[in-house]
Structure 1
Amino acid sequence: MSRNNQHWDPQSYKEHACFVPTFGASLIEWLNPKPKEHILDLGCGDGILTEKIISLDCTAVGIDNSLEFVRAACSRGINARLMNGADLQFNEEFDAVFSNAALHWMRESDSVAKGVWNALVPNGRFVGEFGGKGNIQTIVMALYEVLEEYSVNAHSLNPWYFPSVEEYQNVLESVGFEITRIIQFERPTVLTTGIQQWIKVFAQCFISALPKSDQIACINTIQSRLYPLLYKNNQWVADYVRLRFEARKI
Structure 2
Amino acid sequence: MAGEKNDNWSSQEYQHSAAFVPKLATKVVQWLDVGPDDVILDIGCGDGLLDVEFGHVLAQGKGFLHGIDASPAMIEAATEAVAAAGVQSNCTFHGTFLDANSLAGAPSLPRDGFTKAFSNAALHWILRPETAAAASSFFAAVRDRLVQGGTLVFEMGGLGNVAEMRTALLMASARRVGMARAVAADPWFFPDEAWVRRQLEGRGWEVEKVEREWRPTKAGEGGVEGWVRLMGKEFLRAVEEEAGKEAVEEVVREAAEALRVVCDDGDGGEMISYVRLRCLARKL
TM-score computed with the length of structure 2 as normaliser:
0.83
Once residues 48 and 249 of structure 1 are traced to their aligned partners in structure 2, the CA distance between those partners, rounded to angstroms, is 27
Partner of 1:116: 142
Once residues 53 and 175 of structure 1 are traced to their aligned partners in structure 2, the CA distance between those partners, rounded to angstroms, is 29
Matched, 1:62 2:67: yes
Secondary structure of the structure 1 residue equivalent to 2:159: coil
Partner of 2:232: 203
Task: Tell me how large the CA RMSD over aligned residues is.
Answer: 1.8
Structure 2 counterpart of 1:91, from 111, 118, 127: 111
- Aligned-residue sequence identity (percent) comes to 31
Task: Name the amino acid aligned to 2:215.
Answer: R
Secondary structure of the structure 1 residue equivalent to 2:24: helix
- 1:60-115 Cα deviation digits (max 9, x unpaired): 11011111111211223330001234322443220000111011101242232111
Query: How far does residue 3 in structure 1 lie from its aligned partner after superposition?
Result: 8.0
For the Cα contact (< 8 Å) 2:8–2:233, is it kept in 1?
yes
1:3 and 1:60, CA in 2 relative to 1: closer, same or farther beyond 3 A? Answer: closer
Partner of 2:92: 79
Partner of 1:221: 254
Query: How far does residue 151 in structure 1 lie from its aligned partner after superposition?
Result: 2.4
Structure 1 unaligned blocks of 5 or more: none
Once residues 12 and 224 of structure 1 are traced to their aligned partners in structure 2, the CA distance between those partners, rounded to angstroms, is 20
Partner of 1:237: 271
Secondary structure of the structure 2 residue equivalent to 1:45: coil
Once residues 152 and 272 of structure 2 are traced to their aligned partners in structure 1, the CA distance between those partners, rounded to angstroms, is 27
Partner of 1:104: 124
Partner of 1:126: 152
1:6 and 1:72, CA in 2 relative to 1: closer, same or farther beyond 3 A? Answer: closer
Q: Which moved more, 1:92-101 or 1:218-227?
A: 218-227
Matched, 1:177 2:182: no
Partner of 1:161: 189
Once residues 138 and 76 of structure 2 are traced to their aligned partners in structure 1, the CA distance between those partners, rounded to angstroms, is 23
Secondary structure of the structure 2 residue equivalent to 1:178: strand
Task: Name the amino acid aligned to 2:282.
Answer: R
Task: Name the amino acid aligned to 2:269.
Answer: Q
For the Cα contact (< 8 Å) 2:155–2:279, is it kept in 1?
yes
Once residues 180 and 133 of structure 1 are traced to their aligned partners in structure 2, the CA distance between those partners, rounded to angstroms, is 20
Partner of 2:280: 246
Once residues 222 and 42 of structure 1 are traced to their aligned partners in structure 2, the CA distance between those partners, rounded to angstroms, is 31
The 4+ residue runs of structure 1 with deviation greater than 3 A are 2-6
Partner of 2:23: 22
TM-score computed with the length of structure 1 as normaliser:
0.93
Q: Number of paired residues?
A: 249
